[in-house]
Amino acid sequence: MTLKAYVALHGRQFGTLFGLIVLCAVMWILTPHFLTVSNLLNVAEQTAIIAIIAAGMTFVIITAGIDLSVGSVLAFSGVVLASLLQKGVPLVPALAIGIGVGFFTGVLNGLLITIGRLPPFIATLGMMSVARGAALLYTGGRPISGFSDSFRYLATGKPLGIPMPVLAMLAIFFMAYFLLTKTKLGRYTYAIGGNEEATILSGVNVRLYKTLIYGICGGLAGLAATILTARLNSAQPIAGMNYELDAIAATVIGGTSLMGGEGHVFGTLIGALIIGVLRNGLTLLNISSFAQQIIIGLVIIVAVLLDMALKKSRR
Amino acid sequence: MENNLALQMRAIRKTFPGVVALNNVDFDLRRGEVHILLGENGAGKSTLMKILSGAYQKDSGKILLNNREIEIKNPRHSCELGIGIIYQELNLVPHLSAAENIFLGREPAAFGLIDKKRMNQSAQRLLAGLGMDFDPQRLVRELSIAEQQMVEIAKAISLDARILIMDEPTSALTEREIKELFARIRLLKSDGVSIIYISHRMEELFEIGDRVTVLRDGNWVGTHNIAEVTKPELIRMMVNRELTQQFPKIKAPRGREVLRVEGLSRNDALTRISFSLYEGEILGISGLLGSGRTELARAIFGLDKIDAGSIQVKGRLQKITSPRQAINLGFGFLTEDRKTQGLVLPLSVQENICLPSVERFSRFGVVSNSEETEAAGRFLKDLRIKATGLGQRVIYLSGGNQQKVVLSKWLCSNGNILIFDEPTRGIDVGSKAEIYQLMNQLTAAGTAILMISSDLPEILGMSDRILVMHQGRINGEFSAADATQEQILHCALGEAA
Amino acid sequence: MKKSLFIMSAAALLLFSVACQRNQATSDGRPTIALVVKTLNNPFFNDMQKGAEEAAKSLNVHLLVQAAEREVDVEKQMQIIENLIESKVSALCITPSGSKEIIPAIVKANKAGIPVVILDTRVNPEALAAANGKIAAFIGSDNLEGGRLAGELMVRTLGGKGKVAILEGIPGHETGDSRLKGFRQAVAGSPGIQIVSSQTANWERDQGYTVFQNMLQAHPDIQGLFACSDLMALGAVEAIRAAGKTGKITVIGFDAFSEAREAVRKGEMTATVAQFPADMGKIGVESAARLLKGERIQEEVTVKIQLITRDNLNSNKP
């Protein structure tokens, strides 16, 4: 493939990357605090949680689905993990169960959608409330706090000077990239979103793969819960509210179409970084949280407008 | 002299980056005539019509409407000028009534409220003028495709359209409905409405057309009175080569039985269907829309549950409950609708071809790109698929090439019992011939083909044997060599064979 | 493509213009003190901001005020503090969104050598000690005392006998927990007072309405309500109005917002416990400024707290 053809095919990602670079340049001009190694790592660390959730969201949105429950699933996974750790369950099994809770909640979403034939919006809207309620009920509404240093290392550790959440984020995105582009699962993800009926007719067990994809999304919310809990040294049943919206925003800014069949996971990473850089930069500039919301909203709108303009010009 | 001309397009030129879509094309339209616009896909027919309907702007050239030069600015403007267009995919709102669709955006109002009574009466009058007598309050989604088309035409007429563009209007209609449509077109003609008619179906052109203009690769090739040209001449003008036979059937030797269906039933759709299919054979399945042809294909392919009956594949009894199982047994299913069922449009040629076979190209869930490229590349070459490469998205391919991708998909999964449902619908003449050639090659290699088609000449021209279905049953069997269109049509209408 | 470039540049321009309106960055040598409150869509914190701004003006220090959109968003508050540390502020005044969740952020500030003054909501002392975190001072009201004052008034008003409901804050919030504890201690001495229902309304007005409406359904004979914040109390006042029981139920709130004072004046509420957030903001900034000058400061300042009833309404403007 020639470079030109490659750019034509993946132009959208370059557009997003270009946007991120422009944004960074603007921030660099406006504040001397932005372009420092420690601040950039800081941005990456702050982005990690939303980015990891958004990686799972990308899978789901490529299948033309949506998962509104990730924020609540994060809270539920987090409190289950926290309670296990406090009861003295060793780290590895506790982590496995915590992430497993996320995975199984996701699988449940998948089954409601595939076997129950519910629209993804409705199934996960319901699950959003169920998982939140489960987290509140499980904890009596109280946060669970105070963990061992070895657990907290998952958020506070800095091997080679890079914060653990950033390492986890990078690892997840490389894995997601591999899954989406090199494996059967990835191929079917795109195919289901592009044309579910044609995929069924091609002999693909769509129910199985869709369920698995929602499971992956839930599992990644569980992983994000682990990092969030370690970072705050506390698991809150009300954690992760509105995270689903941030994750959807990151995915959409990254060029994944809500119509399904199209999208790239690294676009999502860039999308999450754009939101992270904006929040960071606007705080450095001391712009009020009210104005920040306006700017972030405008960026989402502009990103999608740009996407549509680019697609049109390629026709 | 030119008083009789409703429309003249002179030396129309339109380019897109890197392509000349129309190269100084001339086209004119007399009052009250049906002017056929003919050409292969990509010949420039749609571009020309899009310029007329205001969707595109021409680069140069002149358009004269009633001998006055005009510039068509946008689709709304075109509409105001009295040009109506009936698209192949109908543009109606399914959950609104026929009357509401006809008057959408300009409902007759009284005191700011929609005057439903007046609207329904006007709609009824319009439809009656077209010889239709159904209730205009019925929802569009409950109407047949033919009736929906009439709603579109009524809408255009209510907008005072004097020029109607009809793009493949018969592609989804049954024979009887086509006859009725033609009657309405004649009615419109007598009212002085001029019609530009785009179709691939040769038979129709001679029946309904007055003149024909042929385009090829963006160039005007010729305009003739229908009475003065023959089918082979037109085909030659379109493809610039003689297609010696429209149906180049080569009979392959009949091999062993590969499929035996006995007593297959599924609720109301299928009743005690029995037949056999042999290696190297094309078994045509004819019948009207809704006679159970597609349902039969779906049941065999494991998409729908069967209530009774048995299926034997290559001599062994099989219970097929999923497409996966059918594919593993060697079945392939080229569905009636490529875009909604056959292809994943945003994916590449390679990804589409390999979709049913990903399993075979994977180890531990990881897909081998090189094996896929090799396999897909072979089909790209063997089937002469015109694409910029394996990475091109199938959405950008023409209908004929898309159909070849679907076929490749089933050849790649080693399909040797192929079900073709309307294999050449909406495909231009050149590609049609290529698809037929491929079917010959397949049968020569021993593949068995079950071909469902509404196109009677196609069924007669390509099949070895023909089964005719009526209301979920097989109503007759013919040998293609000595059956006639009339016999099959009678049988399809329910008369005993 | 031209269009997209246009959109892109328009966006950049917008960003730039917003950025230009920002408060002047500290380039004049004055120290910068950052005040991070829970949220800015709550009058309590607006008052705190005002007090802090007054103090900053008179002391000639530069003040930044930041907050998350949602009061309970501990992660967002942590991100804001991290970003402020990156922009090298001189001192931080924080009202923690979570008593324990704030600690990692405090530890980060400690490592960067930035002193931290905590306002309003107490940090969990054991957890802070366990994390080796250090705060320079705590400035806040005695919420326990406030709860107790409310409880005593409730007992007096009901004559030591009656059914009482409680609207709690979010469990785990030190302020709400202390108010609740104080109130319960005060009424525990009167066996005639029966607490029939005690539920959280998550600090929110709309939930105050629905939760109390449900309580009234279950116990139509409720005579008294203590809400751990005025927002929840004002929600409940609406529910009482809808039930046609205005004035028949003793409602005591907490915070003494202007709207709550108005409700007390009209007799819709019996009392509200006044805190003085403006004082907290003022003392917070003053303490931080003194710290930066190298002066010693008091490690714990209790800001006055007072019961506002119809009788003392006018003599106690905030």
Q: Which CATH number does the domain housing residue B207 bear?
A: 3.40.50.300
The answer to the question of residue B249 being in a domain is: no
How confident is the model at residue B379, as a pLDDT? 94
Q: Are B215 and B293 part of one and the same domain?
A: no
The answer to the question of residue C20 being in a domain is: no
Instruction: Provide the 8-state DSSP code for B253.
Output: P
Q: Are C165 and C259 part of one and the same domain?
A: yes
Q: Are B234 and B351 part of one and the same domain?
A: no
Chains B and A touch (3+ CB pairs under 8 A): yes
A-facing residues of C in 92-151 (CB < 8 A) are 98, 100-101, 103-104, 124, 127, 130-131
| Interchain pair A188, B358: CB under 8 A | yes
A132 touches chain C (CB under 8 A): no
Sequence-ordered list of residues with C-beta below 8 angstroms from that of A307, at least 6 positions apart, any chain: A12, A15, A255
State the residue for tokens 């399914």: B94
| In the predicted structure, residue B268 carries a pLDDT above the cut 70 | yes
Q: Mutate which of B343, B347, B396 to test chain A, going by most A C-beta atoms within 10 A?
A: B347
Q: Are B292 and B200 part of one and the same domain?
A: no
Give me the residue from A183, A191, A202 closest to B367, CB to CB: A183
Top-confidence residue, B199 or B189: B189
| In the predicted structure, residue B291 carries a pLDDT above the cut 50 | yes
Q: Are C118 and C187 part of one and the same domain?
A: no
How confident is the model at residue A314, as a pLDDT? 54
C68 touches chain A (CB under 8 A): yes
Structural domain total, chain C: 2
The answer to the question of residue B216 being in a domain is: yes
Mean pLDDT to the nearest integer, B210-236? 88
Q: Are B279 and B235 part of one and the same domain?
A: no
Kindly list the residues of chain B whose beta carbon comes within 8 Å of any beta carbon in chain A: 301, 303, 322-324, 326-328, 333, 335, 340-347, 351, 355-356, 358-359, 362, 365-367, 369, 389, 391, 409, 413
Q: Are C48 and C78 part of one and the same domain?
A: yes
Query: Strand C137-141 vs strand B194-198: parallel, antiparallel, or unpaired?
Result: unpaired
The CATH number that applies at residue C130 is: 3.40.50.2300
Phi, psi for residue A279 in degrees, rounded to 5: -60, -45
Top-confidence residue, B236 or B60: B60
Q: Are B230 and B300 part of one and the same domain?
A: no
Instruction: From first to last of the 315 residues of chain A, give the pLDDT tens digit.
Output: 445 545 545 555 677 888 899 889 988 888 888 888 888 888 898 899 999 999 999 999 999 999 999 999 999 999 999 999 999 999 999 999 999 999 999 999 999 999 999 999 999 999 999 999 999 999 887 888 888 889 999 988 889 889 999 999 999 999 999 999 999 999 999 999 999 999 999 999 999 999 999 999 999 999 999 999 998 888 988 889 889 999 999 999 998 988 888 899 999 999 999 999 998 888 888 787 778 889 989 988 888 887 777 766 654
Q: Are C148 and C270 part of one and the same domain?
A: yes
Cβ-count burial A252-264 (b if 16+ within 10 Å, e if not): bbbbbbbebbbbb
Distance from CA of C92 to the nearest CA of A (A): 14
Q: Are B105 and B27 part of one and the same domain?
A: yes
Last residue of a domain, one of B239, B271, B306: B239
The answer to the question of residue B251 being in a domain is: no
The answer to the question of residue B8 being in a domain is: yes
Sequence-ordered list of residues with C-beta below 8 angstroms from that of A77, at least 6 positions apart, any chain: A98, A99, A101, A102, A105, A221, A222, A225, A226
Against chain A, the chains showing at least 3 CB pairs within 8 Å are: B, C
Cβ-count burial C205-226 (b if 16+ within 10 Å, e if not): bebbbebbbebbeeeeebbbbb
The answer to the question of residue B210 being in a domain is: yes
A26 touches chain C (CB under 8 A): yes
Of B202, B315, B299, nearest to B256 by C-alpha is B315
The two structure tokens encoding residue A166: 């950033």
How confident is the model at residue C313, as a pLDDT? 81
Sequence-ordered list of residues with C-beta below 8 angstroms from that of B482, at least 6 positions apart, any chain: none
A195 touches chain B (CB under 8 A): yes
Q: Are C82 and C151 part of one and the same domain?
A: no
C-facing residues of A in 178-237 (CB < 8 A) are 228, 231-234, 236
The answer to the question of residue B164 being in a domain is: yes
Instruction: Confirm if A68 and A53 have CB atoms less than 8 A apart.
Output: no
| In the predicted structure, residue B460 carries a pLDDT above the cut 70 | yes
Residues of A with CB below 8 A from C104's CB? 155-156, 231-233
Instruction: Confirm if B477 and B465 have CB atoms less than 8 A apart.
Output: yes
| Interchain pair A201, B343: CB under 8 A | no
For residue B338, name the pLDDT band (cuts at 50, 70, 90): confident
Of B396, B346, B355, nearest to B379 by C-alpha is B355
Residues of C with CB below 8 A from A290's CB? 40, 69
Last residue of a domain, one of B182, B209, B239: B239
| In the predicted structure, residue B171 carries a pLDDT above the cut 80 | no
Query: Strand B60-65 vs strand B465-470: parallel, antiparallel, or unpaired?
Result: unpaired
CA dist B373 and B113 (Å) reads: 62
Residues of A with CB below 8 A from C83's CB? 39, 42, 279-280, 283-284
pLDDT digits (tens, 9 = 90+) for C31-81: 999 999 998 888 889 889 999 999 999 999 999 999 988 888 899 999 999
Q: How many residues make up chain B in this entry?
A: 497
A200 touches chain B (CB under 8 A): yes
Residue of B nearest to A257 (CA): B346
Mean pLDDT to the nearest integer, B13-35? 86
For residue C99, name the pLDDT band (cuts at 50, 70, 90): confident
| In the predicted structure, residue C24 carries a pLDDT above the cut 90 | no
* Ramachandran bin of A140, using left for φ above 0, alpha for ψ from -120 to 50, beta for the remaining angles: left
How confident is the model at residue A13, as a pLDDT? 62
> What's the domain range around B7?
2-239
| Interchain pair B391, A5: CB under 8 A | yes
Last residue of a domain, one of B209, B239, B269: B239
CA dist C46 and C37 (Å) reads: 9
How confident is the model at residue B471, as a pLDDT? 87
Angle between helices A265-284 and A3-30 (to 10 degrees): 10
| Interchain pair A261, B341: CB under 8 A | no
Q: Is the pTM of this model over 0.80?
A: no
Q: Are B292 and B185 part of one and the same domain?
A: no
pLDDT digits (tens, 9 = 90+) for B120-169: 888 888 888 777 778 888 888 888 877 888 888 888 888 888 899 988 88
Distance of CA A240 to the CA centre of its chain: 12
| Interchain pair B346, A261: CB under 8 A | yes
| Interchain pair A291, C18: CB under 8 A | yes
Instruction: Please name the fold of domain A11-314.
Output: ABC transporter involved in vitamin B12 uptake, BtuC (1.10.3470)
For residue B238, name the pLDDT band (cuts at 50, 70, 90): confident
Q: Are C163 and C43 part of one and the same domain?
A: no
For residue B243, name the pLDDT band (cuts at 50, 70, 90): very low
The answer to the question of residue B27 being in a domain is: yes
The answer to the question of residue C292 being in a domain is: yes
3-class secondary-structure state, position B309:
strand
The answer to the question of residue C3 being in a domain is: no
Top-confidence residue, B113 or C197: C197
How confident is the model at residue C163, as a pLDDT? 94
Of C256, C254, C235, C238, nearest to C246 by C-alpha is C238
For residue B50, name the pLDDT band (cuts at 50, 70, 90): confident
Against chain C, the chains showing at least 3 CB pairs within 8 Å are: A
B-facing residues of A in 252-291 (CB < 8 A) are 261-262
Q: What percent of chain C has pLDDT above 90?
A: 58
pLDDT digits (tens, 9 = 90+) for A111-134: 999 999 999 999 999 999 999 999
Of B22, B59, B29, B61, nearest to B43 by C-alpha is B22
Domain borders along chain A are 11-314
Q: Are B215 and B310 part of one and the same domain?
A: no
| Interchain pair A194, B346: CB under 8 A | yes
For residue C8, name the pLDDT band (cuts at 50, 70, 90): low
Residues of A with CB below 8 A from C88's CB? 33
Q: What's the burial of A213, exposed, middle or buried (CB within 10 Å: 0-12/13-18/19+)?
A: buried
> What's the domain range around C182?
143-275
Chains B and C touch (3+ CB pairs under 8 A): no
| Interchain pair B345, A261: CB under 8 A | yes
Give me the residue from A5, A182, A262 closest to B346, CB to CB: A262
The answer to the question of residue C206 being in a domain is: yes
Residue of B nearest to A197 (CA): B341
Give me the residue from A22, A238, A290 closest to C72, CB to CB: A238
State the residue for tokens 């941005």: A43
Structural domain total, chain B: 2
How confident is the model at residue C25, as a pLDDT? 43
Q: Are C248 and C223 part of one and the same domain?
A: yes
Task: Number of A to B CB contacts under 8 A, please give it.
Answer: 86
